[in-house]
Amino acid sequence: MPSKKHDAIKKMLNTAVNSLKDSDNVPHLHHMRHLIELGTFFYLLPWGVHLKKVMVDDKIYGEVIIPTTSDRNKVMLYFHGGGYTIGSSHSHRSLVGKIAKKAGIIALLIEYRKAPEYPFPAALDDALAAYKRLIFERRKLPENIVLAGDSAGGGLAFATILKIKEEGLPMPAGVIGLSPWVDLSNSGESILQNQYEDPLVDIRKMEKWAKMYAGMENVKNPYISPLFGDLSGFPPILIQASDSEMLYSDALRFAKKAEEAGVEVTLQIWEGLMHWWQIFQRVIPEAGEALDKIVDFIKYTLHSEVKKRSLQK
């Protein structure tokens, strides 16, 4: 059962958002970008964590998140969510910093190019470039890297694994998808079933953003919607989702397909939580629980001194 703090936030957001879902008015993308930055303005880095701004290449800005006590040979490469159109390193650095601090590693959070200004394959090109920088320029061992992302960023993490496989690059140690958007055709049952239960996602925005990101490409292109790709050869996967999210079906279908392809999959499901609940890690207890499980997975995949054990699904 969701906590009272979670339900209070969800009720407030539902009151504000559901009226828009029943109207013909969809907030302009420009306004949404400002709203998410404003809404996360006070989500600061945890105590004892600092950042270093870097250029991944001549197009991509990034932030290296560095806990004071951390193994700097181990890295989480993180892709923020936001439908490939909104979100930023600013909106997600608090979440990424908390995970990195608890896991005792550093993180690279990249500002990949977003649609509609930069449609596919810009975001995927940037994600792959960041991974190549880590292994070829920064000399990080692939087995010391884990890829992660939430929502669209989770889908981007999985698409990046497909691209890594296609190019014959060494695989990272693991990949994490927090309520990942892996089907931009939006064909999952939960898209409509949970549309009034999930205040932070709107089917009209999802359809619009999918078209913005795909551009001239088919949305079922596996590098856009990794659900339709060949998942064999993937590293261990962690997926977190809630049964009241619109993207719940994406999580279930991707986990099932990966398991059928012989991939080690840890699927963790919560009841009644809204999309992006992990980002409220300063407020709701379920977010703290989710982050602890993420850290368990990171240690399971990255830290050889930790005896590998079955993670709670």
In 80-161, DSSP assigns E strands to 105-111, 145-150
Domain 4-22+46-302: CATH architecture, name and number where available: 3-Layer(aba) Sandwich (3.40)
C-alpha distances out from residue 291 to 109, 119, 176, 191, Å:
17, 31, 12, 25
The residue count of the chain comes to 313
Other beta carbons within 10 Å of 57: 14
The amino acid present at 225, given as its one-letter code, is S
- Placement of tokens 């499901």 in the chain: 269
Helix 29-39 and helix 89-103, axial crossing angle in degrees, nearest 10: 40
- The arrangement of strands across the sheet holding 174-178 comes to 49-55, 61-67, 105-111, 71-79, 145-150, 174-178, 237-242, 265-270
Task: State the catalytic residues.
Answer: 151, 245, 275
Walk along the chain (313 residues) and give the pLDDT tens digit of each residue. 889 888 888 787 776 665 555 555 556 777 677 666 666 655 678 899 999 999 998 888 999 999 999 999 999 999 999 999 998 888 899 999 999 999 999 999 999 999 999 999 999 999 999 999 999 999 999 999 999 999 999 999 999 999 999 999 999 999 999 999 999 999 999 999 998 888 878 888 899 999 999 999 999 999 999 999 999 999 999 999 999 999 999 999 999 999 999 999 999 999 999 998 898 887 899 999 999 999 999 999 997 544 444 444 4
Which residue ranges make up each domain of the chain?
4-22+46-302
